[in-house]
Structure 1
């Protein structure tokens, strides 16, 4: 379980660190090719989502790594499950049926929730 957690949580954390960092530093024009929903979303909301993603990525790794409040890893993973449910709803409301990445991230986050319960 330990190795499985680190693989799944590590990959999920890397993805959200990249995606969240991109939302924090890139302009709307730079984000549009990979995130079409950005055109109808205010940039402060995009920046807030980026902040949440970066903090969540840290929440998957740091509590378990340091042994301080390891239950926060579960909380971060649950947060990513909720985030992906919302992201899927946004895609579907926009008529975008390409939600395979969202489904994959949702499954990975759910697996991380389950695997993280071994820490606390």
Structure 2
């Protein structure tokens, strides 16, 4: 189970790091036009997108760095729980916009983050 948790954790960290950096480094217009499903950016001010980008990057770091450094490994499930909350908002936004395919994708990330949170809180804690 520990190996599966690590595979999912690394996948989540890579995905959220990439998405967070895109939000931080691209202008709102370039971010919106980068992929077809990112038009939700129209619903938010640019500063809000930057805050979400910071949250994604911090969560990605929180999934990996505590274990790599051996410091505060108890933060890993909390980082995953933070992603569950973040993806709840993302999924809600997609549903409101009637972007069903993107909402389904967000639910996959929600499920993976919930799996890591549960796994690290209960099944194989550090």
- Tell me which interval the TM-score lies in, with the shorter structure as reference length: over 0.9
**Residues 4 and 115, structure 1, Cα contact 8 Å, conserved in 2:** no
Question: Within 5 Å, which residues of 2 pair with 1:30-109?
Answer: 30-33=30-33, 34=35, 35-98=38-101, 99-109=103-113
C-alpha separation between the residues in 1 aligned to 2:74 and 2:28?
A: 35
Which structure 1 segments of 5+ residues have no match? Answer: none
**RMSD of aligned alpha carbons:** 1.2
**Range with greater deviation from structure 2 (30-39 or 79-88):** 30-39
Q: How many angstroms does 1:96 deviate by?
A: 1.9
2:100 match: secondary structure: coil
Q: Which segment is superposed worse, 30-39 or 14-23?
A: 30-39
1:7-46 alignment, distance < 5 Å: 7-33=7-33, 34=35, 35-46=38-49
Equivalent residues of 1:20, 1:49 under 8 A apart: yes
Ranked by relative contact order (alpha carbons within 8 Å, sequence separation 6 or more), the top structure is 1
- The SS at the match of 1:91 is helix
User: So what's the TM-score if we normalise by structure 2?
Assistant: 0.89
The answer (yes or no) to whether the contact 1:74–1:112 under 8 Å persists in 2 is: yes
CA distance in 2, matches of 1:119, 1:46: 32
Aligned residues, how many? 120
Relative to the length of structure 1, the TM-score reads 0.93
